[in-house]
């Protein structure tokens, strides 16, 4: 699983100070809550902290009060005359819970209102963002998976936990993400201002082509397979088509994770901008520079996705043994060979250059079809093809559609001013038998809308 660096997440943030209720549930990760509050206040937002009784076993109320700038709410009956849960729910422009325990997720999903935090969530019309933290087995349990799916259907935003070492000594999904990521994703949800409309079942949620409340994983860009620390095997993909799909999905109300392979900030910019549109969903970016990174990221993020769109150009092969240092041309020419043994030995022979030994990368699309991370998931692939002596681009695409078995495969013939880079695109969309479903031509944004129309038609309502 690739590490999420601070630069790997980009999202729009709201303008002006906002009122944020920060909830804290019972988890060892509660110690990160003050940092979350501090980051919000550093950006000018007003905060109020609400803790469950279990949370106070892990962190003291004075610590939360000190960073939030006011008393910490805990019980519904702390001040019965104030009807505090209603007041907090009306006051809040955003409710952010970090960490959210498995127990809290279950209580919210059940509509419980047995403490101040759950009662506030039940009364508010503001966006609600939950950052779960728990042991891997609890996160993967069918009850938790169902609760998370229920909450997402209702319009609540769930920030996927990180993968890494856990308090128990195990390693897996369930770690509370870094406070910086939590704040960025929460403010992205606020900027979109879509959660309240989705929970209320407004017209946007029922409009044709809407993806409101859906979660999409989209891959984009081209992987780089290292030859040595300086050189790599790559391709011409800019990532523009995948970013266009992700941006359009966010504009339709979807919560999108973009798995980005070596995409420039300029190309990524429209995704952040899309979160500011009325009724927009949220966007998160996970960097995956190599094919192996891409496979790990896609499989991890797709566990709760309604649809996966594989628009990235993933290298078919990678060097078997990348050089641990830059391979010097003169060492090959003078017959000296590589400077060190081991990993460098496959790339040079005495007297001149030798072929680079390649090994096959995993077929990510075929793997998703054969073993979907989530039952009932819609899988969409892309195939850039050219004609040759064995057939034209569409014939190659039809054969690939039958081999891969994806629900939809968008075949684009590249070259001649079409395909890679900031140029128009033309696609023929095929079904798993290789039969044509539809076709379209235009800007990458127009092609993105075509693909999303097909996805919206096929997802269960």
**CATH label of the domain that carries residue 87:** 3.40.50.1950
Based on the fold, state whether residues 236 and 89 are members of the same structural domain. no
- Which CATH number goes with the domain that contains 402? 3.40.50.10300
pLDDT of residue 325: 86
d(CA 324, CA 309): 34
Asked if 78 and 116 touch (Cβ cutoff 8 Å), the reply is yes
Based on the fold, state whether residues 113 and 168 are members of the same structural domain. yes
Based on the fold, state whether residues 240 and 386 are members of the same structural domain. yes
Mean predicted confidence (pLDDT) in 50-74: 93
364 is in an annotated binding site: yes
The β-bridge partners of 217 are 257, 308
326 is in an annotated binding site: yes
What's the structural domain count of the chain? Answer: 3
Extended strands (E) in 262-369? 283-287, 307-310, 317-319, 348-349, 352-353, 358-360
**Catalytic annotation, residues:** 235
Can you spell out the DSSP letters for 403-461?
HH--SEEEEEE--SS-SSSSS-EEEEEE-TTS-EEEEEEE-HHHHHHHHHHHHHHHS--
Based on the fold, state whether residues 293 and 370 are members of the same structural domain. yes
| Interval 130-177: pLDDT, tens | 999 999 899 999 999 999 999 988 888 899 888 888 777 778 888 999
| Interval 19-33: pLDDT, tens | 999 999 999 999 999
pLDDT of residue 390: 54
Based on the fold, state whether residues 260 and 370 are members of the same structural domain. yes
The bridge status of strand 232-233 relative to strand 225-226 is antiparallel
382 is in an annotated binding site: yes
404 is in an annotated binding site: yes
Asked if 331 and 337 touch (Cβ cutoff 8 Å), the reply is yes
Expressed as residue numbers, the domain containing 326 is 321-356
Asked whether residue 1 is domain-assigned, the answer is: no
| Interval 220-257: pLDDT, tens | 999 999 998 999 999 989 999 999 999 999 989 999 99
Based on the fold, state whether residues 106 and 149 are members of the same structural domain. yes
Residue 389: pLDDT band by 50, 70, 90 thresholds? low
Q: Calculate the average pLDDT of the chain.
A: 83
Asked whether residue 252 is domain-assigned, the answer is: yes
Based on the fold, state whether residues 396 and 267 are members of the same structural domain. yes
Last residue of a domain, one of 200, 217, 239: 200
Last residue of a domain, one of 200, 217, 248: 200
Query: Of 372, 437, 449, whose CA–CA distance to 410 is shortest?
Result: 437
Based on the fold, state whether residues 350 and 407 are members of the same structural domain. no
């Amino acid at each position: 699983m690739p590490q999420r660096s601070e630069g790997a997440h980009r999202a729009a943030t709201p303008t002006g100070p906002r009122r944020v209720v920060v909830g804290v549930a019972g988890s060892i990760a509660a110690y990160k809550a003050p940092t979350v509050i501090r980051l919000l206040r550093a950006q000018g937002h007003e905060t109020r902290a609400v803790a469950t009784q279990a949370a106070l076993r892990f962190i003291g109320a004075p610590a939360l009060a000190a960073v939030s700038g006011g008393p910490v709410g805990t019980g519904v009956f702390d001040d019965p005359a104030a009807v505090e849960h209603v007041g907090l729910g009306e006051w809040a422009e955003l409710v952010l819970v970090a960490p959210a325990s498995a127990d809290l997720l279950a209580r919210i999903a059940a509509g419980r209102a047995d403490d101040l935090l759950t009662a506030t969530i039940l009364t508010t019309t503001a966006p609600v963002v939950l950052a779960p933290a728990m042991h891997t087995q609890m996160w993967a349990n069918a009850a938790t998976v169902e609760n998370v799916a229920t909450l997402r259907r209702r319009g609540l935003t769930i920030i996927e936990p990180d993968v890494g070492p856990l308090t128990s000594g195990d390693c897996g999904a369930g770690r509370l993400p870094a406070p910086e990521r939590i704040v960025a994703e929460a403010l992205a949800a606020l900027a979109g201002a879509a959660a309240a409309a989705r929970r209320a079942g407004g017209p946007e949620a029922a409009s044709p082509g809407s993806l409101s409340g859906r979660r999409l994983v989209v891959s984009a860009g081209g992987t780089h397979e290292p030859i040595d620390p300086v050189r790599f095997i790559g391709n011409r993909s800019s990532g523009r088509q995948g970013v266009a799909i992700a941006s359009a999905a966010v504009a339709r109300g979807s919560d999108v994770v973009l798995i980005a392979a070596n995409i420039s900030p300029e190309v990524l910019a429209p995704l952040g901008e899309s979160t500011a549109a009325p009724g927009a969903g949220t966007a998160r970016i996970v960097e995956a520079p190599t094919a192996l990174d891409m496979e790990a990221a896609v499989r991890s993020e797709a566990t709760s996705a309604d649809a996966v769109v594989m628009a990235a150009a993933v290298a078919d092969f990678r060097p078997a043994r990348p050089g641990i240092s830059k391979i010097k041309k003169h060492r090959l020419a003078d017959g000296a060979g590589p400077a060190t043994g081991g990993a460098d030995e496959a790339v040079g022979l005495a007297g001149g250059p030798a072929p680079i030994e390649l090994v096959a990368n995993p077929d990510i699309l075929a793997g998703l079809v054969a073993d979907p991370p989530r039952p009932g998931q819609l899988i969409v692939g892309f195939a850039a093809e050219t004609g040759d002596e064995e057939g034209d681009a569409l014939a190659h695409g039809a054969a690939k559609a039958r081999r891969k078995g994806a629900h939809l495969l968008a075949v684009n013939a590249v070259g001649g001013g079409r395909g890679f880079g900031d140029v128009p695109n033309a696609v023929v969309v095929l079904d798993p038998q290789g039969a044509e479903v539809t076709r379209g031509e235009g800007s990458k944004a127009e092609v993105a809308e075509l693909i999303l129309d097909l996805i919206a038609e096929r997802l269960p309502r």
